[in-house]
């Protein structure tokens, strides 16, 4: 009717599946790139991946992908079946990666909604030539070629002839009744059963598997086989057996020459055995000896190449089962658990319960149980969105491989802590920055081999990629043992580009100087390469990291290397917070940030002439903020001895905040302040309390920054 077949969900599945397969493929290849050839497991895996992609892209009608994967599948089929030696390994690796890149490119186009119009013919040609090369390399040695990889399953059996004096030759013909269906399949059944006992055979029509029209030919002319075996004709007949529709079977003796000439002449002696007579023969057959093993020898085409020892293969990790879930559903689930936590608070802190004299022991017990379960539920749901960094780190392998090869450097990538889990959202945002940092390390950081040898370093450069969880944050560190950052060069460049005005170098701390490289438009690379040097990378990196609330720290030692640390807070939609009152407003501070609460006396307060206040606590001086003044709140306590001072810490910086009173410690659901309200420094979100009122969440970093700005 012209209705469009809805391919959307199919397309999603195809894209997702193919992406996964290509990722696995790349990993397998990169794992084995340093060895001299692929082992059996890898070959199988690559073959399977290409086979699947070929099939699914065929269904989706993306011909160029099908062709390319088919070609590579051919190569790996050949490798799998005939185990050739001396396959140029790096070339093969290159071809595989080339194919993978091509398909990825096409998949990207499809994802964007464009047509995948890449030209595959060049890649196909190259792989074809490669395949021919390794095949002809084999022929020169005189080995046998494995059969062509056709779509026919199972393949034709190439059974090498054995010389044996007692071999007999027969021509067997099977005729079926006129109305029999699928004679070609029945004929094949006969062939299949016979192959167990014959040494060699040919048959006509030959295309019984692939060509349905052969069925009619068989009906008309019969199915003919030329057979060489040790068995007698009666054994042959019994092996062929009796299938419905079979009219009769003819067996004729024939000579060796006739056998070798094939189906080009007629036979002489005819022994026609009607199926009706079978009963007579069956008694005779039972008396016949069963063929003993060893009577019939069928030579296999297996070459003698030994399989790689199992112990040399990396131990397979126990496979985990995964299920793919739409991210929207997970988001909805996260929202709902947030609402649940709030509802729980509303119930447990309900004013109705505050009736004096009410015995609530049973209620408290039950409430405790409820809280426990809710917390656990919350933990599990939060963990659902967490993904391990393994995949992201694997991608870095590829980059190091590519860039180091192209620049002629020898670099090893060490990965630590890849099992660390972070929220999916974060992974998406740090993938690009990480790639950029690694590229920088390879391009700028690690010196060329000659320079390294001259400096007395190991000519093989090393980049370490480490991830760890610490103090509610995820640290991702990129460490290289290259030439490090030159402070003077950085300062000069920044000054020349007008990024820092006229301040002297001494005014900056070391860390600040290193941060120059993150300024837009900064680059000390003399030449722009394909990979870096344009000076637009690092500031984008920093922006991406900041968009998930993290920051980038840079440390370096000239001549020894550099270390870039990404610090990213775990997305905490639900945090432990302390609720406090200032005037008519309620605020919440994250429990982790609170160091202590103190009541202070007037003599601990120091006031500067410009209005700044400080608190002396245990001989340390801390900046002091009165929230009521900062935020112009009314009706709050002003006498320092009436309220409470909260000492807060953020990244080794301390600050004291004056509040009226503490209310409670509880779990709160962080909700963003509606975007309509423009960003207020010092507030990072809001939440609803048990009684329905709204509390504002204080952002310590913002408060501290505000103080410093003054």
Partner 1 sequence: MSEELLEEFEDEQDAQKGMFMTFQMGGECYGIAITFVQEIVGIQPITAVPEIEDYIKGLINIRGKIIPVIDVRVRFKQEPFEYTDRTCIIVINVKSTIVGLIVDKIAGVITVDEREIILPPSLSQSGSVSSKYVFGLAKVDDEVKLLLDPERLIQDEDIAAFGEVVSGTEVSAEA
**In the complex, which residues of this chain contact partner 1 (CB under 8 A)?**
339, 342, 515, 518-519, 542-543, 546, 584-586, 630-633, 671, 673-681, 683, 686, 688, 692-696, 705, 709
SS3 93: helix
- Cβ nearer to partner 1, comparing 619 with 675: 675
- Cβ nearer to partner 1, comparing 90 with 680: 680
Dist CA 655 CA 237 (whole Å): 98
Dist CA 179 CA 196 (whole Å): 29
Q: How far is the CB of 675 from partner 1 (least distance, A)?
A: 8
Q: How far is the CB of 673 from partner 1 (least distance, A)?
A: 7
In terms of residues, how long is the chain? 710
Q: What are phi and psi of 67, to 5 degrees?
A: -60, -45
- Cβ nearer to partner 1, comparing 292 with 502: 502
- Cβ nearer to partner 1, comparing 140 with 678: 678
Q: How far is the CB of 423 from partner 1 (least distance, A)?
A: 22
- Cβ nearer to partner 1, comparing 184 with 586: 586
Q: How far is the CB of 491 from partner 1 (least distance, A)?
A: 16
Q: How far is the CB of 370 from partner 1 (least distance, A)?
A: 19
CB 68 within 8 A of CB 103: yes
- Cβ nearer to partner 1, comparing 66 with 628: 628
Q: How far is the CB of 661 from partner 1 (least distance, A)?
A: 18
Crossing angle for the helix pair 537-547 and 424-440, nearest 10 degrees?
160
The tokens of 474 are what? 């995820």
- Cβ nearer to partner 1, comparing 482 with 690: 690
What are 483's strand-pairing partners? none
Peptide bond into 399 cis (omega under 30): no
Q: What is 321-342 written as a DSSP string? A: P-----HHHHHHHHHHHHHHHH
The number of beta carbons lying within 10 Å of the beta carbon of residue 368 is: 11
Q: How far is the CB of 433 from partner 1 (least distance, A)?
A: 15
Q: Which residues of 111-138 are buried (b: 16+ CB within 10 A; e: fewer)?
A: eeeeebebebeebbebbeebbeebeeeb
Of 48, 31, 159, nearest to 97 (Cα)? Answer: 31
Of 89, 105, 100, 75, nearest to 25 (Cα)? Answer: 100
- Cβ nearer to partner 1, comparing 156 with 681: 681
- Cβ nearer to partner 1, comparing 460 with 650: 650
The number of beta carbons lying within 10 Å of the beta carbon of residue 8 is: 7
Q: How far is the CB of 631 from partner 1 (least distance, A)?
A: 3
Of 462, 450, 353, nearest to 412 (Cα)? Answer: 462
The tokens of 330 are what? 């997970």
Peptide bond into 205 cis (omega under 30): yes
Dist CA 259 CA 402 (whole Å): 58
- Cβ nearer to partner 1, comparing 365 with 679: 679
- HSE value, Cβ hemisphere, 13 Å, CA-based, for 710: 13
| Cβ neighbourhood burial of 176 (10 Å; 0-12, 13-18, 19+) | buried
The tokens of 509 are what? 């701390």
Q: How far is the CB of 684 from partner 1 (least distance, A)?
A: 12
Residues 6+ apart with CB under 8 A from 131: 71, 74, 75, 78
Residues 6+ apart with CB under 8 A from 492: none
Peptide bond into 154 cis (omega under 30): yes
- Cβ nearer to partner 1, comparing 68 with 381: 381
- Cβ nearer to partner 1, comparing 378 with 586: 586
Q: How far is the CB of 435 from partner 1 (least distance, A)?
A: 21
Dist CA 292 CA 289 (whole Å): 8
Q: How far is the CB of 564 from partner 1 (least distance, A)?
A: 14
Q: How far is the CB of 598 from partner 1 (least distance, A)?
A: 24
- Cβ nearer to partner 1, comparing 240 with 686: 686
- Cβ nearer to partner 1, comparing 63 with 691: 691
Token match 């729980």: residue? 344
SS3 428: helix
DSSP 661: E
Q: How far is the CB of 520 from partner 1 (least distance, A)?
A: 9
Q: How far is the CB of 692 from partner 1 (least distance, A)?
A: 6
Handedness of CA 33, 35, 36, 41 (dihedral sign): negative
Q: What are phi and psi of 291, to 5 degrees?
A: -65, 130
Of 385, 341, 333, nearest to 576 (Cα)? Answer: 341
- Cβ nearer to partner 1, comparing 173 with 515: 515
Residues 6+ apart with CB under 8 A from 582: 627, 628, 631, 633, 636, 659, 660
Q: How far is the CB of 682 from partner 1 (least distance, A)?
A: 8
């Amino acid at each position: 009717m012209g209705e469009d077949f809805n391919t959307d969900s199919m397309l999603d599945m195809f894209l997702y599946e193919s992406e996964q397969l290509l990722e696995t493929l790349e990993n397998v290849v990169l794992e084995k790139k340093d060895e001299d050839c692929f082992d059996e497991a890898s070959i199988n895996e690559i073959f399977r991946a290409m086979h699947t992609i070929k099939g699914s892209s065929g269904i989706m009608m993306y011909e160029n992908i099908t062709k390319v994967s088919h070609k590579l599948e051919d190569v790996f089929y050949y490798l799998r079946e005939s185990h050739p030696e001396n396959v140029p390994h790096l070339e093969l690796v290159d071809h595989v990666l080339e194919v993978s890149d091509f398909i990825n490119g096409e998949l990207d186009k499809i994802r964007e909604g464009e047509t995948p119009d890449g030209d595959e013919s060049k890649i196909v040609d190259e792989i074809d030539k490669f395949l021919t090369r390794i095949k002809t390399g084999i022929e020169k040695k005189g080995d046998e070629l494995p059969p062509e990889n056709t779509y026919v399953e199972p393949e034709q059996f190439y059974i090498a002839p054995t010389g044996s004096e007692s071999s007999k030759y027969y021509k067997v013909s099977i005729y079926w009744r006129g109305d029999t269906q699928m004679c070609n399949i029945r004929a094949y059944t006969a062939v299949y059963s016979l192959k167990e006992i014959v040494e060699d055979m040919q048959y006509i029509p030959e295309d019984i598997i692939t060509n349905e029209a052969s069925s009619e030919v068989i009906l008309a002319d019969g199915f003919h086989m030329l057979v060489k075996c040790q068995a007698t004709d009666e054994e042959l007949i019994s092996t062929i057996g009796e299938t419905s529709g079979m009219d009769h079977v003819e067996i004729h003796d024939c000579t060796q020459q006739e056998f070798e000439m094939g189906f080009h002449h007629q036979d002489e002696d005819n022994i026609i055995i009607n199926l009706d007579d079978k009963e007579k023969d069956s008694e005779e057959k039972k008396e016949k000896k069963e063929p003993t093993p060893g009577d019939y020898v069928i030579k296999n085409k297996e070459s003698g190449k030994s399989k790689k020892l199992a112990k040399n293969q990396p131990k397979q990790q126990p496979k985990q089962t995964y299920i793919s879930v739409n991210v929207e559903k997970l988001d909805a689930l996260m929202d709902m658990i947030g609402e649940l936590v709030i509802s729980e608070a509303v119930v447990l802190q309900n004013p109705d319960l505050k009736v004096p004299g009410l015995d609530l022991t049973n209620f408290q017990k039950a409430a405790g149980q409820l809280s426990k379960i809710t917390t656990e539920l919350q933990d599990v749901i939060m963990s659902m969105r967490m993904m391990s960094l393994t995949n992201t780190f694997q991608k870095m392998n590829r980059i190091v491989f590519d860039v180091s090869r192209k620049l002629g450097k020898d670099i090893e990538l060490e990965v630590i802590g890849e099992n660390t889990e972070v929220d999916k959202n974060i992974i998406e945002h740090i993938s690009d920055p990480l790639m950029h940092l690694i590229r920088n390390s390879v391009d700028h950081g690690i010196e060329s081999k000659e320079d390294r040898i001259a400096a007395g370093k190991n000519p093989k450069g090393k980049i370490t990629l480490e991830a760890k969880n610490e103090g509610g944050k995820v640290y991702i560190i990129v460490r290289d043992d290259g030439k490090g950052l030159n402070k003077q060069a950085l300062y000069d460049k920044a000054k020349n580009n007008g990024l820092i005005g006229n301040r002297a170098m001494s005014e900056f701390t070391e860390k600040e100087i290193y941060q120059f490289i993150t300024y837009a438009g900064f680059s000390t690379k003399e030449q722009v390469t394909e990979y870096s040097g344009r000076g637009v990378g690092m500031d984008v990196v920093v922006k991406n990291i900041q968009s998930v609330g993290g920051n980038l720290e840079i440390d370096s030692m000239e001549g020894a290397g550099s270390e870039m640390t990404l610090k990213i807070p775990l997305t905490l939609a639900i945090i432990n917070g302390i609720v406090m009152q200032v005037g008519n407003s309620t605020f919440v501070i994250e429990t982790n940030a609170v160091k202590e609460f103190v009541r202070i006396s007037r003599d601990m307060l120091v006031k500067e002439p410009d209005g700044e206040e400080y608190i002396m606590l245990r001989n340390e001086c801390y900046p002091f903020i009165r929230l009521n003044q900062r935020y112009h709140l009314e009706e709050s306590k002003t006498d320092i001895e009436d309220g409470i001072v909260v000492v807060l810490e953020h990244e080794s910086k301390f600050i004291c905040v004056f509040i009226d009173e503490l209310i409670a410690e509880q779990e709160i659901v962080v909700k963003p302040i509606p975007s309509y309200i423009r960003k207020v420094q010092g507030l990072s979100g809001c939440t609803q309390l048990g009684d329905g009122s709204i509390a504002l969440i204080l952002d310590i970093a913002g408060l501290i920054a505000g103080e410093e700005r003054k």
